[in-house]
Structure 1
C-alpha cells in the first residue's frame, strides 16, 4: 500500500523516508540517504548529546540558567517573551526545545554544550549528512549559505540507538522518549494514527521542507523519518507525512 501511495504523488514533490523495525531491518525506504535541510529535527540529536553530557556529570538538569536579552530569537517558542534575567532550568530548556520547538531554548543549549563540540560528536559517531552549522534563526548565517542538515537514514539511525539504549542509559532514554512524546505538533506523523498509539517524535519546518521523525509504539516499535520538499503548501506536506505514517502502521505493525 505504501509504494502504491507514493507513486500517486506529484512528480514535483521530493520525498525522502525510511521505515525500520526495532532491530534496524528496513521495511521501506525512498531516497533515505539524501541530505536535506534538517529544520528543527536537528534538535533530536542535540537533545541526545545534551543528555550524554548529563550522564557524564558535565551538566545537571536542575541547574538554572539566567536568560539574557541577547539569547532571544523569534520563530517558535515562548522564552523570547520572558524578561531579562528570567531563571529557567536546563530540564525545562530541553523540554521546551522539543514540546514547542523553542528556538531560544535551543540556542541556549547549543551554547552550553558547544556548537563545535556537537559537530565533533556527530562526526565521531559516524554521522556524515547530519550537521549543525548555525544557530536557530541566524539569518546572517543562512544568507552565507550555512545550513543545518540531516537525512532520513541518519535520523532513523539516531532514533534506533535511542530506542535500543545504545546511546544513553535507561533512565536518560526514558526521559528523552518522554520529552519526544510531549511534542505538541501532531499535524504530521501522528495525525492519522489511532489515538491510543503513542508516538515519540519531533517535527521540523522550513519554507521548502517539512519533516517529522519518530518512534511509533504499536504492537512493536516502528521507527520512521519522513521529509517532504518542494511541497505546494504546508497542509499538503503534512497530509503526505501523515499518510505515510498511517500506511506504515497498517503495513508493519504486526
Structure 2
C-alpha cells in the first residue's frame, strides 16, 4: 500500500491580494490626476479667450482685495438707452436756423447708451465719409482670410479717380499693396485707392449687400469716387454704427480692430468733428487733435467734402475713459461755409454735454 499523504491545513488569505488592490488604485489615481491636469492646462487658454466668465470665487476664499478688483474694461454696445434730450433739441435749434440746409446727426456713448439724434437715418451724400464702412468691409475680408494685407491691387483706367489723392497720377498698371490702398484711402482720402478697394471687394453691388447685412441701411455706393454729384449715400446713424461695430468687438478680430484704429488714426483732416469738440471746450487751434489731448480727448475720424455736402464721423475717447461714436452730415449750396460751421457747432454741443467745462489746467500743447 502506498503511504497516504498527510492532511495539509487549508490555506488562509494573506496580505498579497489587498496590497495589489491598493497599488492598482494608487496607479489609477495618479494616472487620472495626470490626465486631468494636462487637459485643464490645454483648455485653460481657450476658456480664458472665450470671453465667458469663470466661476465666482467665494469672498471667504478670495485673497485680500481680489473681490474689489475690476474684471476688465467693458467694450460697450451699440444700444441706445436714454436720450440726451437737451442735446437733441440744441441740434434741432442749430439746424432750424438754416432752412435750406439738410442735416443729420447722431451720438451714442457706448458705455451707458446715452444718445442724441437729429434726423439720424436720413440718407445724405456721403462724399468721402463712405470710406469708413469700406475700410470695415476690407478688414472683414482680411479677417476671413479671403485677402492678404500685402495683396497687390492693380491701377486700371476704370478705378483711377480724380480729386483727392496721388495714386491716379501713377501709370496704369501700377500695383499697390492692399495695406497702402486702405491707408491712403483714409490718410489723404485717396479716391483711386478707394476705387481699388471697391473693385477688390466685389464691386458696388457686393459692397451694398454687405452694408445692408451690417445694418447700414442708408449706405449705398452708386458710382466710383469722387462722386461729385453726391449719388453715394450714408446717414449719421450708419457712420456711427460702422465705427461702433469695430470698437465694441462685434465685428473684426482684435488684430483687425487694431489695424482699423491705426488706419483711422492717420486721417489728416480734423477741421470738422475734432475742431468742433475743441471749440466746445473753449479752444481754437490749427491742430485740434493735439490740443484735445490736453483735455484728455482723442478722436479717430474720417471726413467727407464734395462742396454740396460735408460729413464727419468718428470715435471719441472721453476723459473719463468712456467712448462715444458721433457723426454729422450736412447738404447745402456749393462750398457754403454754413454747412461746415453747422457740423462744428453740433460737435461743440457734444463736448459741452459730455465733458462740460474744461479743466483749469488744460492748455494748448506746444
If the length of structure 1 is used for normalisation, what is the TM-score?
0.89
**Structure 1 gap ranges (5+):** none
**Alpha-carbon contact 1:79-1:105 (below 8 Å) kept:** yes
- Does 2:105 match 1:105? no
Give the Cα–Cα distance (whole angstroms) in 2 for the partners of residues 180 and 200 of structure 1.
Answer: 6
Give the Cα–Cα distance (whole angstroms) in 1 for the partners of residues 120 and 355 of structure 2.
Answer: 21
| Corresponding residue to 2:206 among 113, 117, 124 | 117
- Does 2:216 match 1:127? yes
- Does 2:255 match 1:171? yes
SS in 2 for 1:190: helix
Give the Cα–Cα distance (whole angstroms) in 2 for the partners of residues 65 and 5 of structure 1.
Answer: 42
Change in Cα spacing, 1:24 to 1:36, as seen in structure 2 (3 Å) is farther
When Rg is computed on C-alpha atoms for both structures, the one with the higher figure is 2
Give matches, 1:173-252, under 5 Å.
173-192=257-276, 193=278, 194-196=291-293, 197-219=297-319, 220-230=322-332, 233-252=335-354
Partner in structure 1 of residue 8 of structure 2: none
What count of residue pairs does the alignment treat as equivalent? 249
After the TM superposition, which segments of 4 or more aligned residues of structure 1 sit over 4 Å from their partners? none
Give the Cα–Cα distance (whole angstroms) in 2 for the partners of residues 78 and 24 of structure 1.
Answer: 42
Give the Cα–Cα distance (whole angstroms) in 2 for the partners of residues 30 and 6 of structure 1.
Answer: 6
| Corresponding residue to 1:87 among 159, 175, 197 | 175
The superposition leaves residues 157-196 of structure 1 with CA deviations (integer Å, 9 ceiling, x where unpaired) of 2221111011111111121112112111111111142431
Give the Cα–Cα distance (whole angstroms) in 2 for the partners of residues 24 and 122 of structure 1.
Answer: 26
Partner in structure 1 of residue 101 of structure 2: 13
Give the Cα–Cα distance (whole angstroms) in 2 for the partners of residues 133 and 84 of structure 1.
Answer: 24
If the length of structure 2 is used for normalisation, what is the TM-score?
0.63
The superposition leaves residues 102-142 of structure 1 with CA deviations (integer Å, 9 ceiling, x where unpaired) of 01001111110112221221222333211122211467xx6
The 10-residue stretch of structure 1 (214-223 or 17-26) with the greater mean CA deviation from structure 2: 17-26
Give matches, 1:48-59, under 5 Å.
48-59=136-147
**Structure 2 gap ranges (5+):** 1-85, 279-290, 357-366
Give the Cα–Cα distance (whole angstroms) in 1 for the partners of residues 239 and 103 of structure 2.
Answer: 15
The 10-residue stretch of structure 1 (188-197 or 54-63) with the greater mean CA deviation from structure 2: 188-197
Change in Cα spacing, 1:111 to 1:232, as seen in structure 2 (3 Å) is closer
| Corresponding residue to 1:153 among 237, 248, 254 | 237
Change in Cα spacing, 1:185 to 1:172, as seen in structure 2 (3 Å) is same
Partner in structure 1 of residue 149 of structure 2: 61
